Structure 1
Amino acid sequence: MPDTAVVTGAARGIGRAIASRLAREGWQLVVADLDAAELAAVAEETGALAVPGDTSTDAGVRHLVDTAYDHLGHVDVFFANAGIGTLQGLEADDAEWARALDTNVLAHVRAARHLVPRWLDAGGGRLVVTASAAGLLTMLGDAPYSVSKHAAVAFSEWLSATYRHRGIVVQAICPQGVQTRMLEESGPLRELLTRDATVSADDVADAAWQALSSDAFYVLPHPEVADYAAQRAAHPDAWLAGMNRLQQKLDHQTQTSTTTPTQEPA
């Protein structure tokens, strides 16, 4: 079993849970996040080296990878976990699209660019991308998130197809609703994301830990996602019609919430 890892987006949520699980298993860690204060707390809890910074940029990723190799000597697993949502559709401007693509897709591309050559020299390595069920299905109400998570899965597939025979293992974690701040702040999408049972960040970390013992590409904390993806592939028009019915329900809920008068307390 490998014993060194880098975890991005580690200040809270899934990233924090993954770092905590690996620390309990005795791994040596480097953790990264934009939130330096929260990251410092995670580092203290896990015995990790904290590297605050923006891992959506090439300079940020390069600094993180170089620092991790200097500190750990080698990196067995890179958990590319950092991600953002926008809760916007066509109203999202180019800056929002760029931010989502940089964080949810190009961060993985940049990490692979700096890691894969080292892993090829070392005989192997593992990249674990936190994608989303949105990367296999879609995310109503958030076009940049949905598109970027599809791209994250597609890039992960390309990496696996290109390098698996050379010892590079790539895995994509694709959960649905997870009890994190992102879910709490999802507004009208919250009901949609909780149609199926939600799981905790610790549950996702457990699934990620179990996945390290295999080379399976998809890691599905919500097993039903596999059935949804199969239905989507087999009956795309029926699936899209069903998603549109959900969108109509969201539209109705939004209209109701904006037209229902509120009453101030006396």
Structure 2
Amino acid sequence: MTTINGRRAVVTGGASGIGRGIAEELIGDGAEVVIADIDEAALAATAREIGAHAIAVDVADPHSVHALAEQAEAVLGGVDIVVNNAGVGPLAPLEDLTLADWRWILDVNLYGVIHGVHEFLPRLKANSHGGHLVNTASMAAFSPAPGLGAYAVSKYGVAALTEVLDLELRQANSDVRVTLLAPGTVTTNIKESLRHRPAGDGETGLRDVDISKGLAGDVRWITPREAGRILCDAILGNDLYAITHPEWWHMVDERQAAIRQAFHRVG
């Protein structure tokens, strides 16, 4: 089992939302934590409130992620757990997306994870006791929906990356383990994502949407701390998947059933 107590962790997107909830749960379990975020004001405030170290980062920039890794190791004396969590989530029909929209979503949500894996995986593998790497995807990685085109593409990519990495680490008998976090409806400020879109990227078809206003009343919302607890339990159990809303399996099952039927038709 991966140990959290006494370990050193880095959480991107840690100034708010799920990232903050994860950081708080890691600290509660005895870890020393660096939170990293592009929002420096919120980052500093959150670090003071929860007792974490703060390092600014733009996960879309590989040089910034490299600097994060260097600084985190200097501050913590090493890194044992890395949570590639930073992400954005505005919506748009595919036909409304500009190429700049695509680049921004993929740069943050997918390349942000790629940059984190590239920088931190060798450091985790160099530890005598290994480590744990977490990548945040979404239920959209298992069950896409209209308006989530760019977001779902990015999260499908994160899921594929994580699953392949898990296979490769196990094949190599590595002491590094990996978990894919797939959140459902969590109370965060992801509905304010566009404020971080680069100002020089021109027109956009994306829109920030408060999805809580468009969902049925029986949808279960959880807090970031609850999502963080689910993830910490998955880390402790070396689980590949951390699912926040198991009651949503029927949506995944419908997609799997359609794929299964397609295979049977060919056969």
Range into which the TM-score falls when normalised by the shorter chain: 0.7 to 0.9
Is 2:163 the partner of 1:157? yes
> What's 1:255 paired with?
none
Is 2:123 the partner of 1:115? no
C-alpha contact (below 8 Å) 1:139/1:145 kept by paired residues? no
Distance 2:32 2:211 in 1: 40
Q: Return the letter of the residue paired with 1:180.
A: T
C-alpha contact (below 8 Å) 2:162/2:179 kept by paired residues? yes
> What's 2:153 paired with?
147
TM-score, with structure 2 as normaliser = 0.83
Q: Return the letter of the residue paired with 1:221.
A: T
Distance 1:172 1:195 in 2: 26
Once the two structures are TM-superposed, the CA of residue 102 in structure 1 deviates from its matched residue by 1.0
* Matched residue count: 238
Distance 2:14 2:21 in 1: 8
Is 2:67 the partner of 1:63? yes
Q: Return the letter of the residue paired with 1:154.
A: A
Cα distance change, pair 237–193 in 1 and its aligned pair in 2 (3 A) = farther
Is 2:186 the partner of 1:178? yes
Q: Greater RCO between the two (CA within 8 Å, min separation 6)?
A: 2
> What's 1:38 paired with?
42
Equivalent position to 2:174, from 122, 146, 166: 166
Cα distance change, pair 117–194 in 1 and its aligned pair in 2 (3 A) = farther
Cα distance change, pair 180–102 in 1 and its aligned pair in 2 (3 A) = same
Cα distance change, pair 182–227 in 1 and its aligned pair in 2 (3 A) = same
C-alpha contact (below 8 Å) 2:8/2:31 kept by paired residues? yes
Is 2:234 the partner of 1:211? yes
C-alpha contact (below 8 Å) 2:89/2:191 kept by paired residues? no
Is the radius of gyration larger for structure 1 or structure 2? 1
User: Taking every aligned residue pair, what percent have the same amino acid on both sides?
Assistant: 32
Q: Return the letter of the residue paired with 1:121.
A: A
C-alpha contact (below 8 Å) 2:124/2:176 kept by paired residues? yes
Once the two structures are TM-superposed, the CA of residue 228 in structure 1 deviates from its matched residue by 2.6
Consecutive unaligned residues of structure 2, counting only runs of 5 or more, are: 193-207, 262-267
> What's 1:129 paired with?
135
Distance 2:189 2:80 in 1: 29
SS at match of 1:166: coil
> What's 1:260 paired with?
none
> What's 2:199 paired with?
none
SS at match of 1:54: coil
Consecutive unaligned residues of structure 1, counting only runs of 5 or more, are: 239-266
C-alpha contact (below 8 Å) 1:127/1:169 kept by paired residues? yes
Cα distance change, pair 136–190 in 1 and its aligned pair in 2 (3 A) = farther
SS at match of 1:230: helix
- Write the mapping of 1:1-266 to structure 2, written as runs, cut at 5 A: 1-2=3-4, 3-89=7-93, 90-123=95-128, 124-164=130-170, 165-182=173-190, 185-187=208-210, 190-192=213-215, 196-236=219-259
Distance 2:131 2:33 in 1: 15
Alignment RMSD: 2.1
Cα distance change, pair 26–216 in 1 and its aligned pair in 2 (3 A) = closer
Q: Return the letter of the residue paired with 1:151.
A: G
TM-score, with structure 1 as normaliser = 0.83
Once the two structures are TM-superposed, the CA of residue 145 in structure 1 deviates from its matched residue by 0.5
Q: Return the letter of the residue paired with 1:118.
A: R
